Amino acid sequence: MNQAIVKTNYQLPGQKSIYKGKVRDVYNISDKYLLMIVSDRISAFDVVLPRGIPYKGQVLNQIATIFLDATNDIVPNWKIASPDPMVTIGQYVEPIMVEMVIRGYLTGHAWREYKSGKRKLCGVPLPDGMKENERFPEPIITPTTKALEGHDEDISKEEIIARGLVNKKDYELLEEFTKKLFKRGTDMAAEKGLILVDTKYEFGKKENQIFLIDEIHTPDSSRYFYSEGYEERLAKGEPQKQLSKEFVREWLIKHGFQGKEGQVVPEMTDDFVNQISERYIELYEKITGEKFIKMDSSNVLSRIEKNVLKYLKKMT
């Protein structure tokens, strides 16, 4: 039986607190390290859905590990090691409360805003006459607030600086890192026949230095199209073949759910849960070029605890 892990509740040596996000459980170890367990929870429209997705946590953590290692020449990141396929341990870094969203194409949230008539997103002007999924002349940065609860909100560069969320000098550095990371991710995706459409990056500060934190270039934080057939589908106005969480959002919309007040999450069938799991594994294999090896998931909670305790012992 494949277990999907939707919650953890460990008591680890040196543990000071635990923060449970939409997908990740983050343990503070002695105010020195953060231990991030990537659960199998899945969220859409800022709502955690009722069922976990087998292997999703492993997929996300392993993709993030690959991309963190492949980009640490651009900006230092928080990662120290991955002692379990679903776990990363890294430096304790104070998060910057802004998410840096960068978009190369007009799709998803940006398209929904554009279609409603808006020609400005987060203070960035959008050209007239664009089609859904069309490439922007240059990637645009459309930040959001980083909400501890509820919905992240679009915000402009000017508002971020005015509200003191980030100072001007640091914000300009965040933009520079965001563009370079997106370029690296775009190049790596292109080698595998994929288009990195849009993504988000999160940053933090430690001892006055900016670090890249959390995950990068995973299907939870990014959207990918297949390169093959992109132009033909765009010309015909057809949906793009994509690997991202957007198909989950589309399924929810079709079943009358967009995270709005009073709406109820539709029942997720076993078949649909398995489809999502297969999509995540497909993206892993496509973006990494490696075969996904399913870890034994018959007793995941015990496996994680054993691997984490062994690593923490080694660190002390």
Local structure of residue 77 (DSSP, 8 states): B
| Average pLDDT score over the chain | 94
3-class SS of residue 156? coil
Local structure of residue 24 (DSSP, 8 states): E
3-class SS of residue 42? coil
Per-residue pLDDT reduced to its tens digit, 166-207? 999 999 999 999 999 999 999 999 999 999 999 999 999 999
Residue type, 316: T
Local structure of residue 291 (DSSP, 8 states): -
| Residue 46 to residue 71: CA distance in whole angstroms | 28
| Residue 271 to residue 297: CA distance in whole angstroms | 19
| Residue 278 to residue 59: CA distance in whole angstroms | 11
pLDDT computed for residue 148 by the predictor: 63
pLDDT computed for residue 2 by the predictor: 64
Does the pTM of the predicted model rise above 0.85? yes
Q: Domains in the chain, ordered, with CATH?
A: 94-243 (3.30.470.20)
pLDDT mean over 82-99 = 96
| Residue 36 to residue 64: CA distance in whole angstroms | 12
Partners of 121 in beta bridges: 124
3-class SS of residue 231? helix
pLDDT computed for residue 152 by the predictor: 78
Q: Which residue has the higher pLDDT, 99 or 149?
A: 99
Task: Please name the residue that has the structure tokens 């198909």.
Answer: 247
> Would you say residue 34 has pLDDT above 60?
yes
- Reported as half-sphere exposure (CB side, CA atoms, 13 A), residue 233 has a value of 15
| Residue 307 to residue 61: CA distance in whole angstroms | 15
| Residue 114 to residue 129: CA distance in whole angstroms | 10
3-class SS of residue 230? helix
pLDDT mean over 255-280 = 93
